[in-house]
Structure 1
């Protein structure tokens, strides 16, 4: 359920990232040039089934569709929580189809814990 106190405040990517950082979530899961998904500042490597998407936030630019992005809050099997951030539409942060395939294969279990 949305928190009515913050529903109107969480309209930008940076606002959501700031709120997540206050909850201790500031690291990212990123796909490297070898198409390996890694947790920021670690050597941990993941398959899609090592991760779960617990929340997604979509952002659309007011005047430019190229300003669209999505932020996924992701948890690994060890309990680490981080983000995957990607622009969507014509310009993805990750070239090629490997990232999209990886993302599609991550199980989704939305959690009310991240409704703010």
Structure 2
């Protein structure tokens, strides 16, 4: 995995937005992974992680995040942000268990170095 510590999360997100990748997948209160505003509901096998961007907090090593770029079976691209440590955006194991089941096919087309 490439080291993306030289770029900030906002820089990477802005670069992806310039490439037309503007949608985010989030887990709702029913522990379903939803694209955008309830456009699609995903199971892990519906998605593929095509790139992971890792970020480490400067002040606190526990403030880390991973931005995943995913592609669904229709070819639509979206992101999932997984922050952990003090600023974790998801509690419980459902989020981690979902991500662990998503296949990874790293695509160098999305390298930002």
TM-score, length-normalised on structure 2? Answer: 0.89
Q: Which residue in the other structure is 1:101 paired with?
A: 97
> Which secondary structure state, in structure 2, belongs to the residue aligned with residue 38 of structure 1?
strand
**In the TM superposition, what is the alpha-carbon distance from 1:62 to its structure 2 partner?**
1.4
Flag structure 2 segments of 5+ consecutive residues without an equivalent: none
Structure 1: which 4+ aligned runs deviate by more than 4 Å?
A: 7-10
> What are the within-5 Å matches in structure 2 for residues 33-112 of structure 1?
33-89=29-85, 91-112=87-108
Q: CA RMSD in A?
A: 2.0
> Which string of whole-angstrom CA distances, capped at 9 and with x for unpartnered residues, describes residues 6-57 of structure 1?
x989511000000000000011011100000010123311100000000000
**Equivalent residues of 1:10, 1:16 under 8 A apart:** no
Q: What residue ranges of structure 1 are gaps of 5+ in the alignment?
A: none
SS at match of 1:83: strand
Count of residues in Structure 1 that have an aligned counterpart in Structure 2? 111
- Cα drift, residue 86 of structure 1: 1.3
Structure showing the higher strand proportion among its residues: 2
